C-alpha cells in the first residue's frame, strides 16, 4: 500500500496540525516498515523532521506558486496520480474536484460551526465552505475524540453517516516527561529563559484566541492575588497572539497594577521549551471553552504538572481523574481550586503523581496502528468493489 500525506504544515511554525503530523508520522515510523509513504510539502521542512522515519518514507516537494486552495485542487491530486498513491491522508480539507485515490481526512474539531462568533468572518466562511464538503466526500473521517465524533454526527448527519467517522485519540510526545533534574531544576531553567524573576509560576499554554477563555483565567488569578493569602506565583501565558483578543485586552487593562505586573506573556514558545515550562510549573490552567482533544493538559500530565481544566467537550476524556475539572464560566471556582492547590505542597504532590500514569494510557504508536487500520479498511473496500 502506498500512502500520500499532505504534510504541508510540517513546513511551518508550531501548531496543533503540525503536532498531529509529527506524532502520527513518528508512530507510523515505529509500527510500519512495510507500506510506502510519500510526504508532500511545498518547501523543505523547518527544524527537525519527525523522528524514526525509515526508508519506506520519502519526501516530495511541490513548490507550486499557487494559493493553498489551488494546491489542494490541482497540485496535490496530480502528484497523487503521478506517484500511484493508493490512499491519501489530509487534515480538514480534501481535493474537492476529484482525487485519483480515496482520501481520509482528520477533523480535529468543528468549533467553527459550534461557536461561529469566536472566528473572524473570512475564516468562518472558508471553514464552513470547505470542511463539511470535505467530510462528505472523504472515504473516512478521523475524529480526535468521542466528543468531536458526536458533534460531527449531530451537525452533519445524515449526509455523514456514523460508520464513516472513526475516533482515534492523540497522545503526548515522548519528550514530555517529569523533568530529569526535578521540578526545581525546570523552574530555574524557565525563570532564566523567560525572565520570571526567580518566582514560582502557574502556566497557561495555547494561541491567544477567544476559545481559550483566558479572560476567565485573568479574573481567577486576580482573585487569589488580591486575597488575604496571596501566593507568590506569577501567571505565565505561553502562546502567540491570535485573533479577536479585545475581551482579553479589556480584562488585562482592568486589572490593578499589582496584579498585571505578575502576568507574563511569553509570545510564541519553541517546541523544545514546553517540557521545561510544564516541568517547572506548579499548575497548568486550561479554561478552554471547547477542545477537539486538548494536547496541553495531556502534555502537562506527562510532565507531572498538576492540571486544572474545563469540564467541557473532550477534556474529561483526556484528563480523566488525573486533573481538576472545573466549569468554564465560573472564575470563583477556578480561584478557589487554584488557591487550595498553590497553598499545599502535599496536594500538589498528589496531583503530580497521578499525571504520568494517565498520560501513559495514550501513545502515538497506538494512534498510528488505529490510523493504519483505517487505511487498510478503505483500500480493502475499494479493492473489493473493483474486483466485483
pLDDT digits (tens, 9 = 90+) for 120-161: 888 889 899 999 999 999 999 999 999 999 999 999 999 999
CB atoms within 10 A of CB 266: 19
Do residues 304 and 356 lie in contact, with contact meaning Cβ atoms separated by under 8 Å? yes
pLDDT of residue 386: 46
DSSP 3-state assignment of 314? coil
Do residues 170 and 23 lie in contact, with contact meaning Cβ atoms separated by under 8 Å? yes
Distance of alpha carbon 332 from its chain centroid, rounded? 27
The contacts of residue 162 (CB under 8 Å, 6+ apart) are 153
Q: Is the pTM of this model over 0.95?
A: no
Compute CA distances 59 → 6, 28, 79, 104, whole Å: 11, 15, 12, 19
pLDDT of residue 387: 40
β partners of residue 152: none
Compute CA distances 361 → 74, 149, 170, whole Å: 40, 20, 10
Distance in angstroms (rounded) separating the CA atoms of residues 349 and 93? 43
pLDDT of residue 385: 44
Distance in angstroms (rounded) separating the CA atoms of residues 119 and 139? 28
Which domains, ranges and CATH numbers included, belong to the chain?
A: 2-171+364-387 (3.40.50.2000), 183-359 (3.40.50.2000)
- Please list the ranges in the chain whose pLDDT falls under 70: 12-14, 47, 65-69, 382-388
DSSP 3-state assignment of 368? helix
Distance in angstroms (rounded) separating the CA atoms of residues 225 and 263? 11
Do residues 152 and 189 lie in contact, with contact meaning Cβ atoms separated by under 8 Å? no
Task: Kindly compute the dihedral angle of the four CA atoms of residues 39, 32, 172, 146, in this order, to the nearest 10 degrees.
Answer: 90
Amino acid at each position: 500500500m502506498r500512502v500520500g500525506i499532505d504534510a504541508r504544515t510540517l513546513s511551518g511554525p508550531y501548531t496543533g496540525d503540525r503536532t498531529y503530523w509529527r506524532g502520527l508520522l513518528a508512530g507510523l515510523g515505529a509500527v510500519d516498515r512495510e507500506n510506502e509513504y510519500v510526504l508532500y510539502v511545498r518547501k523543505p521542512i523547518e527544524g527537525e523532521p519527525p523522528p524514526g522515519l525509515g526508508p519506506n518514507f520519502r519526501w516530495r516537494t511541490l513548490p507550486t506558486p499557487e494559493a493553498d486552495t489551488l494546491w489542494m485542487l490541482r497540485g496535490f491530486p496530480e502528484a497523487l496520480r503521478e506517484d500511484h498513491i493508493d490512499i491519501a491522508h489530509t487534515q480538514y480539507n480534501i481535493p474537492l474536484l476529484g482525487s485519483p485515490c480515496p482520501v481520509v481526512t482528520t477533523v480535529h474539531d468543528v468549533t467553527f460551526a459550534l461557536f461561529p462568533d469566536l472566528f473572524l468572518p473570512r475564516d468562518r466562511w472558508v471553514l464552513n465552505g470547505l470542511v463539511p464538503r470535505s467530510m462528505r466526500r472523504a472515504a473516512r473521517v478521523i475524529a480526535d475524540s468521542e466528543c468531536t465524533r458526536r458533534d460531527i454526527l449531530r451537525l452533519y448527519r445524515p449526509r455523514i453517516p456514523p460508520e464513516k467517522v472513526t475516533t482515534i485519540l492523540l497522545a503526548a510526545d515522548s519528550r514530555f516527561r517529569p523533568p530529569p533534574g526535578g521540578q526545581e531544576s525546570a523552574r530555574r531553567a524557565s525563570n532564566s529563559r523567560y525572565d520570571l524573576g526567580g518566582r514560582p509560576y502557574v502556566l497557561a499554554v495555547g494561541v491567544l484566541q477567544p476559545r481559550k477563555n483566558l479572560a476567565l483565567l485573568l479574573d481567577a488569578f486576580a482573585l487569589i492575588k488580591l486575597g488575604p493569602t496571596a501566593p507568590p506565583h506569577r501567571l505565565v501565558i505561553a502562546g502567540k497572539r491570535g485573533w479577536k483578543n479585545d475581551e482579553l485586552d479589556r480584562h488585562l487593562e482592568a486589572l490593578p497594577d499589582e496584579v498585571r505586573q505578575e502576568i507574563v506573556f511569553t509570545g510564541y514558545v519553541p517546541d523544545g521549551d514546553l517540557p521545561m515550562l510544564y516541568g517547572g510549573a506548579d499548575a497548568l490552567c486550561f479554561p478552554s471553552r471547547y477542545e477537539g482533544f486538548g494536547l496541553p493538559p495531556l502534555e502537562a500530565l506527562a510532565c507531572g504538572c498538576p492540571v486544572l481544566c474545563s469540564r467541557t467537550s473532550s477534556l474529561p476524556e483526556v484528563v480523566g481523574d488525573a486533573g481538576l475539572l472545573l466549569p468554564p464560566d465560573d472564575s470563583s471556582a477556578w480561584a478557589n481550586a487554584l488557591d487550595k492547590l498553590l497553598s499545599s505542597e502535599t496536594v500538589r504532590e498528589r496531583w503530580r503523581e497521578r499525571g504520568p500514569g494517565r498520560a501513559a494510557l495514550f501513545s502515538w504508536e497506538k494512534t498510528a496502528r488505529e490510523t493504519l487500520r483505517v487505511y487498510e479498511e478503505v483500500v480493502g473496500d475499494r479493492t473489493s468493489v473493483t474486483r466485483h
